[in-house]
Structure 1
Amino acid sequence: MRYSTLGNSKLNVSRICLGCMGFGNPNIGQHSWTVDENTTHTIVKKALDCGINFFDTAIGYQKGTSEEYLGKALNKSAARDSVVVATKFIPRSDEEIENGISGQQHIENMLNSSLSHLNMDYVDLYIYHMWDYRTSMYEILEGLNNQVKKGKIRYIGISNCYAWQLAKMNDIAQAEGFAKFVSVQNHYNLIFREEEREMAKLCKFDNIAMTPYSALASGRLSRTSEVLTKRLNEDSYAHLKYDSTAAEDEKIILRVKEIADKYKVSMTQIALSWLIRNVTSPVVGATRLEQVEDMVKAVDLSLNEEDVKYLEELYRPHNLVGVMAQNTGVSSDKNLVWMQNLKR
């Protein structure tokens, strides 16, 4: 395993981050294909043995049971200071807003729940999971900074945002002396490369780590289309992200297969090797032991420039999908509340 510093933090992370969305009670939450507590422990132990020290979960994954399963697995198998644990909080609910729960109180409540699930005193990286258009930037940043000062968070990250949002948030943090975002976790892989327009350039300029999710396009980059899996059949959110461009994406996927055959390795290794060239640590999920072994091998696989060009040249611009496709209200007055707060 190789390691890298996570942006402007002092965290040393493995070049692969184990994504934990596939862990949790399958009978509750969004996904029916998640694995149980014992399987989670086996996979986490395998990841640790392979040198992975970076783990990503969220309170929104299977209603907190992903956090619970991960926390139990890590507490059994690793010293707390030997791993980097990231989790995420979601925006305020309608009910919270109606009941007068502030953005800062919401963050504290979410964090305390996550720490309880994980059975930990702090998280290394606390991630703003998706943009809350009903809460000001200042409120979010001050709420996060308060928890950093309490020692419950070491560093903060952000996910599912535009480059202008990340830039503006860090500008406010700089001006106010708040903790700044050291990482961004957005949608980025070989068949969805819209992050290269602006976000990748911002991150390179400001030394913000990119830790993209959907690194294998929900498994589509790890196999050809005729291979069926439980997740492929049941992951409705992945269908929303990828079905509309499946025909053009398939041409790239077949090139991944071609290069994999050339190197005599798996398609997973090719797709991840390409991505690792461009980011600090992609978030890669696993529900089987062999998937962990495969992702780790990608770290030491180097593609030549000719192969990279061959993999990239068929890409065509894609429309934003998933969470980002819904985040279109950038002209709303609620998005500009931060301007008033800057006068404080």
Structure 2
Amino acid sequence: MRYVKLGNSGATVSAIGLGCMAYGDPDRGTHRWTLREESARPLIRRAVELGINFFDTANVYSAGHSEQVLGAAVAEYCRRDEVVLATKVHGEMGPGPNGWGLSRKHILWQVDASLRRLGTDYIDLYQVHRWDGSTPLEETLATLDELVTAGKVRYLGASTMYAWQFTKALFLQKQHGWAQFITMQDHYNLFYREEEREMHPLCRDQGMGVLPYSPLARGRLARPWGARTARLDFDEPGNQFYAGNEEVDRRVADAVGEVAAGRGVSRARVALAWVLGNPAVTAPLVGATDAAQLDDDAAALDLQLTDEEFRRLEEDYVPRPVAVL
């Protein structure tokens, strides 16, 4: 395993992180394709064995059950100080107008709920999951700063917003002397490269860690075009996002297959190696539903693509509208 610094902080994380959206009760929340705890825990154990020390989840994943599964597995398979646990706040966790968002009321409620579910007294990286235009940004940032001061949170991160929004937040944090965001978790893969326009240059300029989610386009880049999986059958948001660009995406997927065949490796390893080859990227967050996938993802760290392979993988891409879904 290779290790890198988390943005401009002193914290060290594995160069790939394990995203835990796939772990949790499929009867809770909106992710009907997730693995139940008895199937998920061995995968977290395998990640630890591979040297992965960075685990990412969110309060909304399986309505909190993903956090519970992750926390219990960490307690069993490693020491708490050995790992970096990341979770998020914003999504709907209760009825009524205060059940979601980035208000002081919602954040203070949810940070304590996440701590209980994770079974820990601190969160290493607490991330705002989405932008909340209905709450004054100063209120959100001041509340997050208080969490760091109180010791409930070690570092702050953001996810899925426009570059101008992230810039505004960073400016206010510096202006008021509040704890700074150190990471941006963004959507980035061979099917969706719009973060290269503004977000990645911003992050490099400001020393932010970039943590791409869906580096394999929710599995679409890991298998031949048109192959079906249980997640594709139930992942309606993902299906909607990638709809309308099928012809271009098919050509990109075919290029991944060509490079993979030439190297004698999996499509997933090639697609992940491409993400890792971007100098803006700190640690992509991979999802895995079996141990072989995890082993293959870790092996992508040792795959160095040639300039010609990068050209082949990128040449069919067509710009698409920026999305902050």
Q: Conserved in 1, the CA contact under 8 Å of 2:225 and 2:254?
A: no
Cα distance, 1:96 vs structure 2: 4.1
Cα distance, 1:226 vs structure 2: 3.6
Cα distance, 1:94 vs structure 2: 7.7
RMSD: 1.7
- Counterpart residue number, 2:96: 95
CA distance in 1, matches of 2:291, 2:136: 42
> What letter corresponds to residue 219 of structure 2 in structure 1?
G
CA distance in 2, matches of 1:94, 1:166: 28
Cα distance, 1:227 vs structure 2: 2.3
Q: Conserved in 2, the CA contact under 8 Å of 1:148 and 1:154?
A: yes
Asked whether 1:63 is paired with 2:56, we answer no
Q: Conserved in 1, the CA contact under 8 Å of 2:90 and 2:102?
A: no
Aligned CA distance change for structure 1 residues 102 and 71 (closer, same or farther; 3 Å):
closer
Deviation string, structure 1 residues 186-225 (Cα, Å, up to 9, x no partner): 1110110000010010011111011011110010110012
Q: Conserved in 2, the CA contact under 8 Å of 1:190 and 1:271?
A: yes
Three-state SS of the structure 1 residue aligned to 2:110 is: helix
> What letter corresponds to residue 178 of structure 1 in structure 2?
W
CA distance in 2, matches of 1:75, 1:132: 33
Deviation string, structure 1 residues 242-295 (Cα, Å, up to 9, x no partner): 121122111011000100011110000000001011210011111111111111
- Counterpart residue number, 1:18: 18
CA distance in 2, matches of 1:305, 1:151: 45
CA distance in 2, matches of 1:28, 1:102: 23
CA distance in 1, matches of 2:174, 2:182: 12
Three-state SS of the structure 2 residue aligned to 1:47 is: helix
- Counterpart residue number, 1:303: 305
Asked whether 1:258 is paired with 2:258, we answer yes
Aligned CA distance change for structure 1 residues 319 and 94 (closer, same or farther; 3 Å):
farther
Q: Conserved in 1, the CA contact under 8 Å of 2:184 and 2:211?
A: yes
- Counterpart residue number, 2:294: 292
Asked whether 1:78 is paired with 2:69, we answer no
> What letter corresponds to residue 238 of structure 1 in structure 2?
G
With normalisation by structure 1, the TM-score equals 0.91
Q: Which runs of 5+ in 1 are unaligned?
A: 326-344
Cα distance, 1:97 vs structure 2: 4.4
> What letter corresponds to residue 31 of structure 1 in structure 2?
H
- Pairing 1:93-242 to 2, within 5 Å after superposition: 95-97=96-98, 103-242=103-242
Q: Conserved in 2, the CA contact under 8 Å of 1:19 and 1:285?
A: yes
Q: Conserved in 1, the CA contact under 8 Å of 2:255 and 2:313?
A: yes
- Counterpart residue number, 2:285: 283
Aligned CA distance change for structure 1 residues 239 and 298 (closer, same or farther; 3 Å):
same
Q: Conserved in 1, the CA contact under 8 Å of 2:86 and 2:126?
A: yes
CA distance in 1, matches of 2:295, 2:95: 42
CA distance in 2, matches of 1:90, 1:136: 14
* 187-196 or 235-244: bigger deviation: 235-244
CA distance in 2, matches of 1:190, 1:46: 27
Three-state SS of the structure 1 residue aligned to 2:245 is: helix
CA distance in 2, matches of 1:2, 1:140: 34
CA distance in 1, matches of 2:102, 2:74: 32
Aligned CA distance change for structure 1 residues 102 and 215 (closer, same or farther; 3 Å):
closer
Q: Conserved in 1, the CA contact under 8 Å of 2:25 and 2:34?
A: yes
Three-state SS of the structure 2 residue aligned to 1:87 is: strand
Q: Which runs of 4+ in 1 moved over 3 A?
A: 91-94
Three-state SS of the structure 1 residue aligned to 2:317 is: coil
Deviation string, structure 1 residues 58-85 (Cα, Å, up to 9, x no partner): 0010100000001001110010110000
Q: Which runs of 5+ in 2 are unaligned?
A: none
Three-state SS of the structure 2 residue aligned to 1:221 is: helix
CA distance in 1, matches of 2:165, 2:91: 15
- How many residue pairs get aligned? The number is 322
CA distance in 1, matches of 2:129, 2:50: 28
